[in-house]
Structure formats: C-alpha cells, structure tokens
Amino acid sequence: MEWKTDWGLRGRMFFVMFLLAALYLAFLAVLSLYVQSFLLIVVFMSIFLFVQFFFSDKLALRSMGAREVDESEYPELHRMVGRLSQQADVPKPTVAVADTHTPNAFATGRSKNTATVAVTTGLLQTLDQDELEGVIAHELAHVKNRDVMVMTIASFLATIAMFILRWGFLFGGGGRNRQGGGAGIIVAIVASLVVWIVSFLLIRALSRYREYAADRGGAAITGKPAALASALMTIDNRMDRVPEEDLREQSEMNAFFIVPISKGVIANLFRTHPTTERRVERLQQLAGDMESA
C-alpha cells in the first residue's frame, strides 16, 4: 500500500490552526487592555512556549514513568521499530518502555529527528507480533505527519488561558490604572475562559481526525490494516481489566495514547480519539479496498 499525502489532514490542520491563531490574537488584544505592560505578556508567553516546545517530550515520558531502553534490554522491539521506521521513511526514533499494566503506546517529540515511541509492558504482553507492528506503525505515522509538534503548538495558548483562569490576579495589575483592578481581573478571566473552551473543542476535533490519518498511515507502513484493527479491539477490551489506580494516574495522557482511557462520564464527554468501533470500521473498509485492488 503506497503512502499518500493526506490532504484532508493537512487542510484540517491549516483550518484549525488558522482559527486558533485568530482566537489567540483576539485574546492578546483583550489582555493588552488590562495589563500594564504588553511586553510582560510577550515575555511570559515566549518563555512558556520555549519550555513547552523543547521539553514537552521529556515531561510526557516522565508523567508516564517511561524510560529509554537500549537494544540489549529489548532487542526484538528495537528491531521492529528500526524496520518499520525504514518502511515509513523516517529516522529511527528513541524507544521507551513504561512499566504499567495499561496496554498502550504513544509518540512524542517536536520533530522526526527527536521523536520517541513509547510502549507499555502491558502492550508487549497483550499483542501478537502483527498487532504490535500495527500499533508501532500507527505511532510512526504520527511522527511522519508531525502531529506531536502541531498539537503542542495548538495547545500552547489554551494552556496559558487555563493558567490565567487559575491565577487571574497575575494579569490584573494594569487594570488599576484603567478600569480598576477588579474589572481587569474579571475581564482577563472571562476572556481566558472563552479562549480555553473554544480551543478545547477545536483541538479535540483536530485530534480525532489525526487518529484516522495515523490509522491509515500505519496501515500503509505495514500493509496490514486488519492487524491494526485487531490491536485496537484487543487494547480496548483489555482496558476493562486494568486496575482503576492505573487508569487514574494516566488519564491526563489520553491525547497521546493510541487508544484513550475512556472510563467514566467525563472521559467520554469530550473525546480526543474517535470511537474504537469507528476506527475499526474504517480499517476494515481499507483492508477490503486493498484486497480488491
């Protein structure tokens, strides 16, 4: 199966990034009315963007308890990642393993050359070879599509907005000279709330579509869409047997996982991923198209 440029993915990425950029510019314009020094906003956001862009991969790995492993520890895993990387035409990423019962995988890193693919011990113990190849190929498709970088940038000011919601007084000082300190704080908090809600919805719409694109890309790398579909169903079914404490500890990583933790009302309210059933349906259609070609 030939790898093809996913123009649908690129178009949606561009459209969502355009909407986010317009939203953030309006957000900065409102803040500038109530913050004494606009330079303070620029400096603060620049520092935060630098930290998030260059260190988000390390923070993601640390939050999952994942560590880099060498070939002597996991030779088969390294060989598999290396072979699939060649088939995907991307540099071999760093390989990491997280010691947890949760069967899952994720990719992180700001570029193809700094990418890391992480799997859990639960995943290695659950899937057969073809299924594991499908999952790793899916994560390599994320790397090839630069999804991690795009999602990190897209979520940047949404994170800033959340910080202002929690600590609105940080941007209320300039209001004393114009509209009153209390009014400045209230406006900053309201603007932050609007930005966060709209960003939240836009980013999740983009996240769901990038999963479809990564599924298709993973199938293109291995030529086995049925194996990836089987892996998704296996992981989804296995989630019901994972201890609750493991699910709670890792729920904040949902956007990175190949299959999100979906227990509970809140987890299902705003999905970062399409439903497993819908993803499997598309992969089965793809498998049928390949067989008839």
Task: Supply the residues annotated as catalytic.
Answer: 139
Q: What are phi and psi of 117, to 5 degrees?
A: -110, 125
Please report which residue ranges of 36-180 form alpha helices under DSSP H.
Answer: 38-64, 75-88, 121-126, 129-144, 147-154, 156-166
d(CA 163, CA 259): 28
> Any idea what the Cα angle at residue 231 is, between residues 229 and 237, rounded to 5°?
105
Closest-CA residue to 258 (of 204, 202, 207) = 207
Tokens found for residue 215? 């599924």
SS3 state at 50: helix
Task: Check if the beta carbon of residue 112 is closer than 8 Å to that of residue 133.
Answer: no
Task: Check if the beta carbon of residue 40 is closer than 8 Å to that of residue 194.
Answer: no
Radius of gyration of the chain (CA): 21
